[in-house]
Amino acid sequence: MTEIRGRSDVGQGGDVVPLVYLAKYLPVQGQPDLLLKWNQPVPRYTSYPTVPFWKEHLEAPRWKDAFRARFSECNEKEGISLYIHLPFCESLCIYCGCNKKITTNHSVEDEYLQAIFSEWSMYLQLMERPPVIRELHLGGGTPTFFSPQNLERLMARLLEGAVVHPDHSFSMEGHPNNTSREHLDTLYRSGFRRISYGVQDLNREVQEVIHRIQPFENLCRATADARAAGFTGVNFDLIYGLPLQNLERLRLTIAQAVSLRPDRMAFYSYAHTPWANCAQRLIEESYLPSATEKMELYERGKEWLMESGYTNIGMDHFALPSDDLFKAWRDNRLHRNFMGYTTQDSGMLLGLGVSSISDIGSAFAQNEKTLGGYYQLIGTGDLAVRKGYFLSQEDQAFRRHILDIACKGYTVFDPAWLSVIDEWSMPALRELEGDGLVRIGETGVRLTPAGRPFLRQVCKAFDLHLLRDEKARGAGVVQCGKAVTGERGPSFSKAI
Ligand code: SF4
């Protein structure tokens, strides 16, 4: 009997199955059909079940009951996490898939903050005690679209009557072009210590074609300002697969980024989904790298980051050994939720603002996605939750397996669900094992080093919703969740 113990090297670059890498290193060398087999669209598993399987209309009273119950369990023990979505941006980056509203009219800040305050008040009424806030993240959109004074008001209201956990982690997304020293000083005083700058690519021609001009000098200044203000964590987000990107441009981007020594870097795949993101239709498709070129961008980019002292953690993330994410990964404390990888699991993530998602362990809820609809719902004095999902016991068991694979690289089978694992997961796991990508023991399964690029495909072996959906459709590939009709593409972006 093979006991599954300890950690393995958790997979890398779940976004991409890099054929160049595989051709060089994997036991499937010389079998291109086998390599292509794993390059299917597959979820990123920031939730399970994944969003396409949620119900369109969440029962609000049931959500409130579940929220109250979970809050009682979590608050005193671990504290709660908050995500605040701040959707405004001054200009449109045409690759962007976020929920955002483009405007240069800053009078929108006040109306939006009032809606957030109302929503927070409604949730406070569901809490029997003052919330203990452990994690807080400002995302967007562009949080630094808001003035320092308005961000200070936001934080004052959120923390009024709340308790800040002694081991708290407050973080934010910042745009290198508009994050001022005043923003940073203000947020530092509110407890923020980590900022993520969207870098994407530093080549001017790439920046022009994606409509995001941000000179390297701006990133240098924003990074220096963050450190001078006292921020101890600076993250950069890079993207590969953008139009006009090539190896030389990526090499220079990474060299410039590395020269500023960010603590953590995300290296995301550009998901070209013009059927879902209208602005991407402005991208001239002939400017996009081919699948082979994109794989090489990923593979070389990963090598350059690792040669520069960064360790590949989970999907898409690279961190210096001094960074908290690296330590959480090393100590098996990594968690994954809608914010991606996090260093702790507070057990309860509450999302405020338009389109925000909450995760309370037993249920997910997503707020109304249009700004007008969000204001309207909040204006009626009720929560803005729209779609969501209540997890069954089976869902919770298989969610744990997926989180284990994504965060630790192995999972121990839940004895209560062995027959379901045998029926649904084992066929896929055996196929992965046959290709040398996992090792199956009697009590669990572990990624092999060759399986690390396929982390998401291994997670999928425990995605009962997707597996059953595929079977019902008689499909051999992931199209998932909803019918693919007309111009609409698959629910998940293609890996390459
Ligand atoms: S990438 Fe960021 S700044 Fe650009 S449009 Fe999207 S949310 Fe706004």
Q: Is the CB of 92 under 6 A from ligand 1?
A: yes
At the second CATH level, the architecture of 51-390 is Alpha-Beta Horseshoe (3.80)
Neighbouring residues of 281: CB distance < 8 A, sequence distance ≥ 6: 274
Query: Which amino acid type is present at position 72?
Result: S
Residue 83 tokens read as 């995500």
| pLDDT for residue 34 | 52
200 CA distance to ligand 1 middle (Å):
11
The H-or-E segment that residue 199 falls in is strand 192-200
Q: Is the CB of 239 under 6 A from ligand 1?
A: no
Q: Is the CB of 86 under 6 A from ligand 1?
A: no
97 CA distance to ligand 1 middle (Å):
8
Query: Which of 143, 154, 93, 75 has the alpha carbon at shortest distance from 119?
Result: 154
Whether 311 contacts 318, CB under 8 Å: yes
Q: Is the CB of 100 under 6 A from ligand 1?
A: yes
| pLDDT for residue 35 | 59
Query: Which amino acid type is present at position 393?
Result: Q
96 CA distance to ligand 1 middle (Å):
6
Residue 394 tokens read as 């089976």
Strand partners, 233: 194
Task: Supply the DSSP symbol for 205.
Answer: H
pTM of structure: 0.88
Whole-angstrom Cα distance, residue 129 to residue 427?
47
For ligand 1, pick from 91, 93, 199 the residue to mutate: most ligand atoms within 8 Å of CB: 93
Q: What are phi and psi of 59, to 5 degrees?
A: -80, 110
Q: What are phi and psi of 349, to 5 degrees?
A: -115, 120
94 CA distance to ligand 1 middle (Å):
8
Whole-angstrom Cα distance, residue 408 to residue 237?
23
Q: Which atom of ligand 1 is nearest to the CA of 175?
A: 3
Predicted confidence pLDDT, tens digits, the chain (496 residues) = 333 333 332 233 333 333 333 344 344 444 455 556 776 788 989 899 999 999 999 999 999 999 999 999 999 999 999 999 999 999 999 999 899 999 999 999 999 999 999 999 999 999 999 999 999 999 999 999 999 999 999 999 999 989 999 999 999 999 999 999 999 999 999 999 999 999 999 999 999 999 999 999 999 999 999 999 999 999 999 999 999 999 999 999 999 999 999 999 999 989 888 988 889 999 999 999 988 888 889 889 999 999 999 999 888 899 999 999 999 999 988 988 888 888 877 789 999 999 999 999 999 999 999 999 999 999 999 999 999 999 999 999 999 999 999 999 999 999 999 999 999 999 999 999 999 999 999 999 999 987 877 888 999 999 999 999 999 987 544 433 343 333 334 455 555 4
Q: Is the CB of 383 under 6 A from ligand 1?
A: no
For ligand 1, pick from 96, 239, 242, 270 the residue to mutate: most ligand atoms within 8 Å of CB: 96
Buried-state track 56-81, b at ≥16 Cβ within 10 A, e below 16: eebebeebbebbeebbeebbeebbbb
Q: Which atom of ligand 1 is nearest to the CA of 87?
A: 7
End-to-end alpha carbon distance in the chain: 38
Q: Is the CB of 141 under 6 A from ligand 1?
A: yes
Q: For the chain, what are the domain ranges?
A: 51-390
Tell the residue nearest (CA) to atom 7 of ligand 1.
141
Neighbours of 494 (CB within 10 A): 16
Whole-angstrom Cα distance, residue 492 to residue 393?
25
